[in-house]
Structure 1
């Protein structure tokens, strides 16, 4: 009721009928609604998302994109929009002095909000050029939302123009909006293209540069910049010369120093917390060294979180939006079914259908970018860990070298570091899975009522079973890694002493030992495969068990 009162104060009671619903017969309803609600959505988005754009601006290492036709045109059009809104505000103030012209609060608020927002847009545009950001997703979505929000008023202004051709105020609003809306459309089109490369850049680009950085934001959003490589792979087998060079921010030259900075801070904090390595006793005049076993090793997790946590959290935010959209689609579908069964306005059916399409498209895009970003973060973590392990292996002491062989060190770099690439993509399931379960139960409770508890009981029963299988798989993985270390260690000894093996014809003996370890490793892999198959079978059967239990509960009720 407060929302209705607020809109009534903005627009006037003539826009409402006796049932407190929109009076759609009045052509002034849509532009008034646009001035109150549809204005705030894109403007609020820009003010909130400007923080994200500011983060990228402050962390950009490139500078000084040259002035060109694209960014000059954007800046000029934005300034024209600011001037146009100042004129609209002046006309509104002038009309307020006339008694025969109705002026509402929305007529004042709308141009003021747009003026401030367009000034912010021009500021971001200037600093994006200054700090080398060739394409801004924030500005792209801002102009896209303005484009969508302006469609209702565009239609309404045309209708009011033909219905009230003699009204001077209506004629001015029509002319003003016919100037404003094409400028919005033009700004949206211009923001689909990327700017020129920056002049000052610390990166050295290869000849076969990846086209992602030179692509506009729609191309990045839909991954269309990848199409040339996909077409090349379709026509012929890809060779090394066909592949693009690695993006400079993803190279070890950029990733490793960032990780090393936080890793050195972690080591310093650990040394301060653990105290001195040796103590001096005055009575015995001796120096007591603290054993290495008493000193706990520094954890690498804080350094990884500080170095790559921001990118990971942004990916988690994309996952959160995707999970919420997953439950918005059924609600829109329920509204669409109600529209088919009832006698609602025709435009609502089109709106629900477009909403379903928009939700499905947004889910696909968000999920694709989530996995891309997570694998990218995992790749950077693997690069940093591989570099740290390799540098540590070059400085390892003789006593430690007895405990860790070359094969084990190579195994750490090649296998264990790779696990982080696989981990990052599914680590968010720790919070995402409970959230999805909770939302699903909430919405199902509104449909099925207490019958949901039967399905919940089945899920609760399956959780311990899955936990037991997961613990067994974990044990088998540890066992497999131990066998793998033994095999790599033995292979390393064979390769180092190959001359002696050939001289004494010991190949069959060592081959039997290697195959024996390999057979044990294969047994572990086979058991792991069986357990993974059992897990997949259980969770594949879970939906059918839930439906059966819910159907049984419904029959009981």
Structure 2
């Protein structure tokens, strides 16, 4: 039996001694694998179509996430080396090229979300430490230095890991090389973000938190592939680099979640009332601004995960569990939510409306410019929640279809699809809950801001009214404006998104019903066509007999004539 030396040379270069069959889970010796191209194997009954298919299947099954064949950006339904095919049909895993393309997600996160962070943070002044504890200030500086050292170590590890991948593969794969390059660029971009966030921000960087989170997820997927293919013993150095890199990125993520705790003592612990009590017997501290600092809202220092889950409310919830809450237990409002700041913001936008000679001033446009950003964000949260709400029935229908595939007489679907559908259903429900709560929170905050600013503007206007203007108005007109009319505007802001959301839900419902009706109609038409074919097949001999009888009758009449 003739052997293929080219196939042997390929696996000698790669350093692989055994090859896994793509159609079976058994390991095949390399000598036998070299004979795949010439004749089928009696032991496996495997009939490879070509050298390319055997090489691709062997590469994706054995080397897994380490050194695949050349990835392709084009789409082919049966090509495991296309980045658009996420799932490996032979086992519960992702394809190699798709796993490399996942590294673009953290890069896009830090590029899109963090592109404006250097500009925003550099325009802010350096914030001095507010904490009264020198130990916390020292710990904050130590944490900052630790972050920089860790990210430098991760950079060195990433360079070594990329070099190993390139040396082992022996060729320049565009997808693999791009994935390693974007990781290096992202880590380099994270260094100035760490520096600016530490000096000029009171909370953790949202861009860095999401970058480390998605980077950990993609690294965990790649590490899982290494352990799944037993590459720990075949390539221990590469697996060790992955484990070390993932561990250091986890440490960076935890340190970034803690945030710059030099701005407040309440980052680590709270007193029984949500903040530490002041020693009133100290004349140097009693009555000072430190009391206001102690009652600052934790929302100022809360990171994005604490805001999404409302974790910053935990001290208040604990206090409310143990005793009745009073006004003294409440935190101060953030500076941007206080009445004077809100009124000044509305005054500025109103002056800009007046200064524009090309258009008449509009109070609605002024309010939209002052407080429209969070309101649009709330509308986006609501629309995403509506989409996820209509996604759940589709996933449930797909799950029932997956369960029906295991009935007798049906072709069972791969088991991993069931896990995927269940995971997607959980993720949709979890994300829907987060976005629903954030929608209500942002809508209520925007309504309260508009109400406070309008009341402040009306009150300031009432102080400078002339006597003639006051005489022409009733005593309770101004009070009604501040109490009734402004409250209606607040309620309109809170419930205004529901109008857009209702129309959007109607459109989604129509599309869903149309898809269901189209499927049912197609199935019904197919069934009617099958029944018509059955009737035609049953009546076909009778029609032939009738046609034959008519033909014989015509011939007899013609013969008599």
TM-score range, shorter chain: 0.5 to 0.7
Which residue is equivalent to 1:368? 437
Which residue is equivalent to 1:266? 353
CA drift of 1:35 comes to: 0.9
Q: Secondary structure at the match of 2:295?
A: coil
- Shift in alpha-carbon separation, 1:150–1:103, aligned structure 2, 3 A: same
Q: Find 2:336's aligned residue among 231, 235, 249.
A: 249
Distance in 2 (alpha carbons) for counterparts of 1:206 and 1:43? 37
TM-score (norm 2): 0.65
CA drift of 1:442 comes to: 0.7
Q: Find 2:113's aligned residue among 49, 67, 71.
A: 49
Which residue is equivalent to 1:192? 257
Distance in 2 (alpha carbons) for counterparts of 1:304 and 1:187? 41
Distance in 2 (alpha carbons) for counterparts of 1:404 and 1:145? 61
Counterpart mapping for 1:387-406 below 5 A? 387-406=456-475
- Shift in alpha-carbon separation, 1:171–1:106, aligned structure 2, 3 A: farther
Which residue is equivalent to 1:157? 226
Contact 1:77 1:183 in 2 (8 A): yes
- Shift in alpha-carbon separation, 1:186–1:304, aligned structure 2, 3 A: same
Q: Secondary structure at the match of 1:178?
A: helix
CA drift of 1:320 comes to: 2.6
Distance in 1 (alpha carbons) for counterparts of 2:319 and 2:372? 36
Contact 1:203 1:248 in 2 (8 A): no
- Shift in alpha-carbon separation, 1:361–1:39, aligned structure 2, 3 A: same
CA drift of 1:448 comes to: 2.2
1:311 equivalent to 2:374? Answer yes
In structure 1, the gaps of 5 or more residues are 275-295, 453-557
Q: Secondary structure at the match of 2:299?
A: coil
- Shift in alpha-carbon separation, 1:77–1:163, aligned structure 2, 3 A: closer
Distance in 2 (alpha carbons) for counterparts of 1:192 and 1:379? 30
Distance in 1 (alpha carbons) for counterparts of 2:290 and 2:436? 30
Which residue is equivalent to 1:408? 477
1:380 equivalent to 2:449? Answer yes
TM-score (norm 1): 0.66
Distance in 1 (alpha carbons) for counterparts of 2:499 and 2:120? 28
CA drift of 1:27 comes to: 10
Counterpart mapping for 1:170-189 below 5 A? 170-189=235-254
Which residue is equivalent to 1:287? none
CA drift of 1:447 comes to: 0.8
Contact 1:263 1:300 in 2 (8 A): yes
How many residue pairs get aligned? The number is: 411
Q: Find 2:306's aligned residue among 214, 219, 228.
A: 219
Which residue is equivalent to 2:163? 90
Contact 1:222 1:365 in 2 (8 A): yes
For each residue in 1:137-157, what CA deviation from the matched residue of structure 2 results, as whole angstroms up to 9, or x when unmatched?
332222222222233211111
- Shift in alpha-carbon separation, 1:192–1:21, aligned structure 2, 3 A: closer
Contact 1:154 1:177 in 2 (8 A): yes
CA drift of 1:94 comes to: 3.6
CA drift of 1:351 comes to: 1.8
The structure with the larger Rg is 2
CA drift of 1:412 comes to: 1.0
Distance in 1 (alpha carbons) for counterparts of 2:429 and 2:233? 42
Counterpart mapping for 1:433-472 below 5 A? 433-449=502-518
Contact 2:110 2:208 in 1 (8 A): yes
Contact 2:226 2:232 in 1 (8 A): no
Which residue is equivalent to 1:289? none
Contact 1:31 1:157 in 2 (8 A): no
1:74 equivalent to 2:147? Answer yes
Which residue is equivalent to 1:321? 384
Contact 1:311 1:377 in 2 (8 A): yes
CA drift of 1:190 comes to: 2.5
- Shift in alpha-carbon separation, 1:235–1:196, aligned structure 2, 3 A: closer
Distance in 1 (alpha carbons) for counterparts of 2:93 and 2:237? 14
Q: Find 1:127's aligned residue among 189, 196, 204.
A: 196
Q: Give 1 or 2: higher helix fraction.
A: 1
Distance in 2 (alpha carbons) for counterparts of 1:193 and 1:150? 22
Which residue is equivalent to 1:114? 183
Distance in 2 (alpha carbons) for counterparts of 1:234 and 1:28? 46
Contact 2:203 2:301 in 1 (8 A): yes
- Shift in alpha-carbon separation, 1:264–1:28, aligned structure 2, 3 A: closer
Distance in 1 (alpha carbons) for counterparts of 2:236 and 2:459? 74
- Shift in alpha-carbon separation, 1:367–1:55, aligned structure 2, 3 A: farther
Counterpart mapping for 1:23-34 below 5 A? 23=88, 25=90, 30-34=95-99
Contact 2:219 2:242 in 1 (8 A): no
Distance in 2 (alpha carbons) for counterparts of 1:27 and 1:433? 40
- Shift in alpha-carbon separation, 1:267–1:233, aligned structure 2, 3 A: same
- Shift in alpha-carbon separation, 1:203–1:442, aligned structure 2, 3 A: farther
CA drift of 1:222 comes to: 1.0
Distance in 2 (alpha carbons) for counterparts of 1:325 and 1:47? 26
Distance in 1 (alpha carbons) for counterparts of 2:227 and 2:87? 20
Distance in 1 (alpha carbons) for counterparts of 2:399 and 2:383? 25
CA drift of 1:235 comes to: 3.1
